[in-house]
Structure 1
Amino acid sequence: MPSALSSAKTRSALRTSARISLQMLLVLLMTAVTLWLLGRMWSVLWPLVVALLLTTLTWPPARFLRRHGWPPALAASLITVLFLLIGAGIVVLIAVPVASQSGELAEGVVDGIQQLREWAAGPPLRIGEDQVTSALDAAVARIQGSVGSIVSATVTGVGTIVNGLVTTVLALFLMFFFLKDGPRFLPWLTRQLPGRLSTDVPTVASRGWDTLGAFVRSQAFVGLLDAVFIGLGLWIVGVPLVLPLAVLTFVSAFVPIVGALFAGFVAVLIALVSNGWTDALIVLAIIIVVQQLEGNVFQPIVQSRGLGLHAAVVLLAVTLGGSLAGIVGSLLAVPVAALIAVLWNYLREQLSDPAAPEAPDPAEPGPAPDAA
């Protein structure tokens, strides 16, 4: 016969389950409150996050100058100016060749549209001129009926651009101060915090800084791989503006998913208007292959090694971040996951029991007694 349930053990199990459930609810509540507060402070936090990421990229040369006797303010000023010059140079490197060939590209766009219309007019679609004209008239009528939405979208876009400029300026100023006074932050933080926090918080902050540096370096390496392979493919196919497209690919790699799609779309469009459909399809195939290798091989391997995360965790983090917060979520998903891993590993270290000394094996002979 099966044994009867013990009422005492059942009540104990229910009490334990209720206590654990209450604790989990409190943790989830505190997490929700924290996320709400971060959302309210996002206008300040976003420039801070951008500045930290830029500082991890510019700190190695600033540290080199400081170790060779440069004053902190002078080293930070020089690195900030050089960073601005490099950013402006990248913009010029992309814009000048495009502007010099804008006439040819415009003619190519017109020819491409005409080729598309001729192709649509033939089999199997057989779309006639009257259908195209009616579709254009319908599109114009719809645009005219949506003037208010277009104006509001334009105003929203202008506001977004202004916010982006403000964020960029604040991030550059914060980057300068981080380069100048960054090494004094942890000692200052140690003096401000009481008790054990004066040790725990600076330790976690130091490990988190190393993790952010590893993320930026790995992202730059992956972007360099994309730029080299895609640029080489464009050069072999004979697409114009290879260097600007390669630079655009490298820069866009710092914005996961959307950046790669944008750079690939530009490359395919230029191949279409300059070389025709065949080369455009070849370029599209090259970009798809490189992006698949980057997203499924290069990026997870490099970031998992640099950040101490498994490749599957990296992929899941990018997917979750993109679904929760769009482009910004995709950009910050991997470093946030790495920082959570840093905090979790430190908590495990502090909460783990010290390893017990191994008992001697009785089968092994002990040390020989000292001679009398």
Structure 2
Amino acid sequence: MTAPLSSSRSRAALRISARVSAELLLVLAGLAVALWLLGRMWSVVWPLVCGLLMTTLTWPVARVLRRRGWPPALAASVVTVLFLLLLAGVVALIAVPVASQSGELSDGVVEGIQRLREWAAGPPLNIGDAQIDKAFDSAVARAQEGLGSMVGAVVTGVSTVVNGVVTAVLALFLMFFFLKDGPRFLPWLARQLPGRLATDVPVVFARGWDTLGSFVRSQAAVGLLDAVLIGLGLWILGVPLVLPLAVLTFVSAFVPIIGALFAGFVAVLIALVSNGLMDALIVLAIIVVVQQLEGNVFQPIIQSRGLGLHAAVVLLAVTLGGSLAGIVGSLLAVPIAALIAVVWNYVREQLTDPAPGAGEDDPDLAGPLPS
């Protein structure tokens, strides 16, 4: 016979459940308020994010100059001017041609999807169901919207002219000040914070900066290699729109997993429409080979340490970011998830009990510093 439930234990379990639920609701409310404030301050936050991302790319050059004895202001000025010259060259040689061919690229994708639809409707599949037709129509609309957003992100993200000169100027000025005064920020921050926060917050900031810099630089290098190799293969096969497809491949590298699938899908469709089925299959083979080289050769060499995120977490982050903020959310989703993982790992380190006897053998492992 089953023993009756204990009323005292049941009430205690309900109280604990209610308390945990209330705490979760408070955390969710805090996150909602933080997101609302972020949206209200986006005109300031977006230039700050752009400035930080540009600083992660240019900081290695500034660091080399500073180590050679250059004054911080001079090193930051030289790097900023070189970055502006490079930016102007990219706009003139890449962004403008890509923008002029974006309509042709979008039309090619739509035509390729229509051909797939016709193929699916014929033998051997003979799919003619209304739901399938609706799915293909939805795919056409999503391809047009996603491709337009991606090309727009290329143009605005590289030249930062189409969507506002103010954002470009603010981001560049912030990049200059980050390059000039960045190393003094953490010591200054430590002096402003009381007690234990003076130790914890700078450590988290330093780890987050290392993670962000590693992600941006490694993804840029891997994306450039992918764009060059795939673009070379498309050029050899005589596939049109090589430059827009190469730029699309480069930008898609900043959206792990999903970006590579999207860029490869677009390249295969363009090859199918312009060169036929055989060349489309060759393009597919080239993309598969390049992606295998990326995953097994390029990325391990270029990216010395990963973000510590599981592939499922990356997929969920990209999906959530895209649903919340479109292409910008997809681009920023993985770095934000990695920064959250940095904070969580540090908190877990501080809350983990030290191994038995560790405090006796090594005073540095005895636990958190006193406040």
TM-score scaled to structure 1, two decimals?
Answer: 0.69
Counterpart for residue 82 of structure 2 = 82
Structure with the greater alpha carbon radius of gyration: 1
RMSD (CA atoms): 3.9
In the TM superposition, residue 163 of structure 1 has moved relative to its aligned partner by 3.7
* 2:352 match: 352
Please name the residue that 1:16 is paired with: 16
Q: Is the 8 A contact 2:229 2:290 kept in 1?
A: no
Between the aligned partners of 2:56 and 2:348, the Cα distance in structure 1 is 27
d(CA) in 2 for partners of 1:197, 1:230: 48
The equivalent of 2:207 in structure 1 is: 207
After TM superposition, the structure 1 = structure 2 runs for residues 95-244 of structure 1, keeping only pairs within 5 Å, are: 163-239=163-239
Give distance in 1, aligned partners of 2:264 and 2:77: 32
Structure 1 range deviating more: 57-66 or 90-99: 90-99
Aligned counterparts, 1:303-342, within 5 A: 305-342=305-342
Q: Distance in 2 between matches of 1:21 and 1:304?
A: 41
| CA distance in structure 2 between the aligned counterparts of 1:21 and 1:211, rounded to whole angstroms | 33
2 CA distance for matches of 1:255 and 1:164? 24
Partner of 1:61: 61
Cα offset, 1:17, TM superposition? 1.2
Deviations 1:176-213 (A, max 9, x none): 11001100101111111111111111111000000101
Aligned CA distance change for structure 1 residues 29 and 243 (closer, same or farther; 3 Å): closer
Looking at structure 2, the residues matched to 284 and 68 of structure 1 have their Cα atoms a distance apart, in angstroms, of 46
Provide the C-alpha distance between the structure 2 equivalents of 1:298 and 1:43, rounded to a whole number of angstroms.
40
CA distance in 2, matches of 1:306, 1:221: 14
Q: Which amino acid aligns with 1:26?
A: L
Shift of 1:29: 1.1
Alpha carbons of 1:32 and 1:299: their partners in 2 closer, same or farther (altered >3 Å)?
A: farther
Q: Give matches, 1:237-256, under 5 Å.
A: 237-239=237-239, 246=246, 249-251=249-251, 253-254=253-254
Deviation track 1:152-189 (CA, whole Å, cap 9, x = no partner) reads: xxxxxx9x965443222211111011001100101111
Output the CA distance in 1 between the equivalents of 2:340 and 2:272.
43
Q: Which residue of 1 aligns with 2:284?
A: 285
Change (3 A) 1:259 1:18: same
Amino acid of the structure 1 residue aligned with 2:211: T
Residues 314, 334 of structure 1: 8 Å contact kept? yes
Instruction: Name the counterpart of 1:73.
Output: 73
Change (3 A) 1:32 1:297: farther
Secondary structure at 2:194 match in 1: coil
Q: How much does 1:342 deviate? A: 0.5
Structure 1 residue runs of 5 or longer lacking an equivalent are 125-157, 359-372
C-alpha distance in 2 between matches for 1:294 and 1:15: 55
Corresponding residue number in structure 2 for 1:142? none
Confirm or deny: 8 A CA contact 1:248 1:263 kept in the other structure. no
Equivalent residue letter for 2:230 = I
Task: Please tell me the residue identity of whatever aligns with 2:22.
Answer: L
1:239-298 residue CA offsets vs partner (Å, 9 max, x unmatched): 46756754564355446767985797589659967xx54687457635764797699989
d(CA) in 2 for partners of 1:338 and 1:202? 17
The separation in 2 between residues aligned to 1:81 and 1:321, in whole angstroms, is 33
Q: In structure 2, what residue type is equivalent to 1:175?
A: M
SS in 1 for 2:355: coil
Could you report, residue by residue, the CA deviation over 1:125-163 in whole angstroms, capped at 9, with x for unpaired residues?
xxxxxxxxxxxxxxxxxxxxxxxxxxxxxxxxx9x9654
User: Aligned equivalents of 2:95 and 2:347: distance in 1?
Assistant: 49
Does structure 2 conserve the Cα–Cα contact (< 8 Å) formed by 1:317 and 1:333? yes
Pair 1:236–1:269, CA change in 2 (3 A): same
Q: What does 1:31-42 align with in structure 2 at a 5 Å threshold?
A: 31-42=31-42
Change (3 A) 1:300 1:70: closer
| Number of aligned positions between the proteins | 305
The change in CA–CA distance for 1:81 and 1:290 in structure 2 (over 3 A counts) is farther
Structure 2 partner of 1:153: none
CA distance in 2, matches of 1:96, 1:162: 11
Counting aligned pairs with the same residue, the percent is: 69
> Structure 2 CA distance, aligned partners of 1:6 and 1:50?
58
- Output the amino acid matched with 1:285: L
Cα contact 1:268–1:283 (8 A) shared by 2: no
